[in-house]
Structure 1
């Protein structure tokens, strides 16, 4: 099973994570249009609510597109980001069945039965489109105000971004390939699926998740000093080609980017005022401030912190560099970072730990629904730092730091008070089946 790519976004869960956090960073406009009556997020003048759906979640987690609807998330989201699309070594958007690199089976080949389909209709053998892409299209038909974005890159698949963005010719080729594949929907033929225009209408825009231009990311990700200027040019090229297509189609295709917390990474990779002119919004890293590979149990998503990474610090860093507040969308985690073997007494926070806590999908990474069950077992005590806006649970040995409904409510108030652009979720499959977290976030943003 492939690990969630955001699990490694920034410092990463690796043996040297502490050094990475100190030296690198902790990782990863048009207003939303109105839509379905009665939906708070789809109403007029609402803040953006952006949720990531993970391609690989349909396997071990068995989290299907249908679950976005059944949980109540679809009616509360303004944007759904599909994670992820890859960049090939040739510098083009990549599609196929290549283990660890691309999964056309999940994307558009896999047939779904009636029980797992958004509209209750089973796929047939002769459909040109099936899999997640068809379900996303059905989800949009049911929730007309929902925009679906293809998110390109992520921690594992940012390997070739620098090469793709390096020259004017490479940028034009890269952008054209992504628009052709995802926006125009010209999918490669695969097992009777795909073909010209087969996925047209699935995606409403593109989310750039290059981790990170100008500074270190995953072990095989190329980065160069010139990435900073090249990212600006790449954003401009995406805007140019999307607008050209939009003019012909009489519509606006959105363009967003996921951006980091650490000021060193911001300055190495982003000409902030220039890119913000061409981006509809950016989603700010609001989690993985500390990760379970570090030797000390610590907060991963605090709203405020003295001399440490925090949501507020991230917002201020982007505002100070010229980003408009209305285009800043604050990332929130629907998962926790966990440590075990925590010693030193007290409530566990800031104490030495032996290593990542055991969890269902990956040690040190626990879905909110999994952590909620630990609390309900009675073995863990919930602790809160009310001043700084974060929570953790501790049983005397194992500690998990995470966002629960109370934390999300406070973050929503912060977004409104600062007149920011909204909130982003990584990732929807961590929530409870009845959408406990998305409902709390929505109530806070739109209440």
Structure 2
């Protein structure tokens, strides 16, 4: 059986991979320091078409030290040229090219590889680089003139392991008269479904359908493009996914922010290495945007979308969940591919695509306005993210490219019928239209279940403010269509107000200066009183802090409920700071204070004041939620935790007790 996941045009073209040697010509002695020992540069050429071709350079570092910086120089034959490239910065002078690391850096760890992909144009003839140097030394590891023998067939191919969406194969290494450059895993129809660079003996094919039988073979190739015959086929069945409705266990929902991979450096891999993935039931990916036509869309434009982060960026081996670097020719890279790998490692996890958010809810009122617009919004989001039909971007995307990444939709319209972001479109009829939009999504998700045999969740992020609940939600009508909803349990107060206050208090605290009064108790009551079952509600908790400065001690000397001169300085935003940074303040002249009944903590140094949650207050919030018969907690956002996942561990321990 061939893989049902459809592949984009570029990935299909790589089915005809031709690995060719870099033509290595020694540089003059004066410009030739010792070549990096154990570092190989391999050129891989994809299929040619009428006016162009595709190619890849792989830096294979088999030395014992990290290659911290690199410069690759080469020439292309007359008539050939590079038209676009990724994972490197390029300078060109005529037919001469210089490649250096991109702005985010690209060190190559010991034992690791780094891929640089490009598209090019040619007028016929050869496109292989010549005169190649790496760090001013001749590129190491090129094939000898006698490299004409193909590698031997990989032996003893067997199934090492399976998950609901992946099959891992292992084999005995091939041999070659010069050296094996890599392996190709072939589908039942002979199509290349996975290329693994290096003389490795295992590889994983992901993006598969649960409880489905697949047949694969393996063949080896060397740096000159010689290929072995395919191994005898091996057949395996993927595991069954835990389908149907979620269990009655407490839900642990964490938001992963698309932009957290930048300044914060928080990658999908960190969800695993912090042991957070094992403790979560759901990840909500924030966010998808809605355009003027009321449709989900993908672009790579500041303020509009980040297709590069979603599925374009190639993560290095040391950045990847499974330790395998992305290849330039993959139809799925970026955060989406890493989430798929995370699910393969933790099959219990569900990942939902969150639509809207504070900034990207602008046009949802338009999208919810008519039956036609509601149908258009739901179908566009389902097609793009659940069926996985991503628009082509930088060699990635295409039909079915993201199939299997997402398990449902999380609606995050902030807010129907109420003020949210100043640019939002708001209508009085948003309340009824939201009900109809929820029904449309549920109807289309049910139809998709019939098509694929998989159940798809529908969830929503809901406000804590009773006025917003009343203005925007027909609670009794919408709740039956949701698997569960998360209720905002934070941002009750912040530096947009003049007085210090708690941002996530469970109950009202005596002396609260207002001007409006919020608490988790008030928020949950707003939903339950209007018909929501507590078992369908999940309480939001913050992995960040809100802060003020210019704060006097006040009568209790702790700065609580005191006037401030403005927001405290934050790393990414004034008045806001991640918990992992706030936790260091008690060692920097701040005093810790608590209100155990309200489940709050705060820090004060005589001038600057931060309201925040630590391990103790997180446990207090869980105990309160359990006492109200709520079904777990939701986290905004995972990148606020420390590398050890301390806050997540505290929540997990309390939920299990």
TM-score by length of 1: 0.89
Match of 1:318 in 2: 527
- Structure (1/2) with the larger helix percentage: 1
Match of 1:355 in 2: 566
Is residue 413 of structure 2 the alignment partner of residue 210 of structure 1? yes
Is residue 619 of structure 2 the alignment partner of residue 409 of structure 1? yes
Match of 1:230 in 2: 433
Secondary structure of the structure 1 residue equivalent to 2:460: strand
Offset of 1:376 from its aligned partner? 2.9
Contact 1:369/1:430, CA 8 A, preserved across alignment:
yes
Contact 1:344/1:352, CA 8 A, preserved across alignment:
no
Residue of 422, 429, 445 corresponding to 2:639: 429
Offset of 1:249 from its aligned partner? 1.5
Secondary structure of the structure 1 residue equivalent to 2:584: helix
Q: Provide Cα deviations, 1:278-320, integer angstroms capped at 9, x if missing partner.
A: 0111100100000112111111000111572111111111110
- 1:124-139 equivalences under 5 Å are 124-139=327-342
Match of 1:221 in 2: 424
CA distance in 2, matches of 1:343, 1:393: 13
- Structure (1/2) with the larger strand percentage: 2
Number of aligned residue pairs: 405
CA distance in 2, matches of 1:104, 1:131: 9
Secondary structure of the structure 1 residue equivalent to 2:583: helix
Larger radius of gyration: 2
Residue of 95, 99, 103 corresponding to 2:298: 95
Residue of 39, 59, 78 corresponding to 2:262: 59
Is residue 448 of structure 2 the alignment partner of residue 245 of structure 1? yes
Offset of 1:344 from its aligned partner? 4.7
Residue of 534, 543, 550 corresponding to 1:341: 550
Match of 2:584 in 1: 373
- 1:50-129 equivalences under 5 Å are 50-129=253-332
Offset of 1:387 from its aligned partner? 2.2
Q: Provide Cα deviations, 1:112-150, integer angstroms capped at 9, x if missing partner.
A: 010000000001111000000000000000000000000
TM-score by length of 2: 0.61
Contact 2:298/2:307, CA 8 A, preserved across alignment:
yes
Offset of 1:44 from its aligned partner? 6.4
Offset of 1:72 from its aligned partner? 1.0
Secondary structure of the structure 2 residue equivalent to 1:163: helix
Secondary structure of the structure 2 residue equivalent to 1:89: coil
Contact 2:599/2:618, CA 8 A, preserved across alignment:
no
Runs (4+) of structure 1 exceeding 6 A deviation are none
Offset of 1:88 from its aligned partner? 0.5
CA distance in 2, matches of 1:443, 1:91: 42
CA distance in 2, matches of 1:348, 1:124: 53
Contact 1:394/1:400, CA 8 A, preserved across alignment:
yes
CA distance in 1, matches of 2:402, 2:484: 25
Secondary structure of the structure 1 residue equivalent to 2:384: helix
Match of 1:383 in 2: 593
Contact 1:46/1:446, CA 8 A, preserved across alignment:
no
Residue of 476, 496, 501 corresponding to 1:293: 496
CA distance in 2, matches of 1:389, 1:111: 42
Match of 2:346 in 1: 143
CA distance in 2, matches of 1:354, 1:165: 41
Deviates more, 1:365-374 or 1:384-393: 384-393
Secondary structure of the structure 1 residue equivalent to 2:418: coil
Offset of 1:45 from its aligned partner? 4.3
Q: Provide Cα deviations, 1:138-188, integer angstroms capped at 9, x if missing partner.
A: 000000000000000000000000000000000001100000000000000
CA distance in 2, matches of 1:279, 1:126: 38
CA distance in 1, matches of 2:496, 2:627: 34
Contact 1:422/1:445, CA 8 A, preserved across alignment:
yes
Higher RCO (C-alpha under 8 Å, 6+ residues apart): 1
Offset of 1:46 from its aligned partner? 2.0
Offset of 1:348 from its aligned partner? 0.4
Deviates more, 1:337-346 or 1:401-410: 337-346
Offset of 1:392 from its aligned partner? 0.6
CA distance in 2, matches of 1:251, 1:128: 23
Match of 2:481 in 1: 278
Give ranges in structure 1 of 5+ residues lacking alignment: 1-35, 37-42
Secondary structure of the structure 1 residue equivalent to 2:497: coil
CA distance in 2, matches of 1:135, 1:420: 31
Q: Provide Cα deviations, 1:368-411, integer angstroms capped at 9, x if missing partner.
A: 0111011233x111111122221111011000001111111011
Residue of 364, 372, 375 corresponding to 2:575: 364
Offset of 1:251 from its aligned partner? 2.0
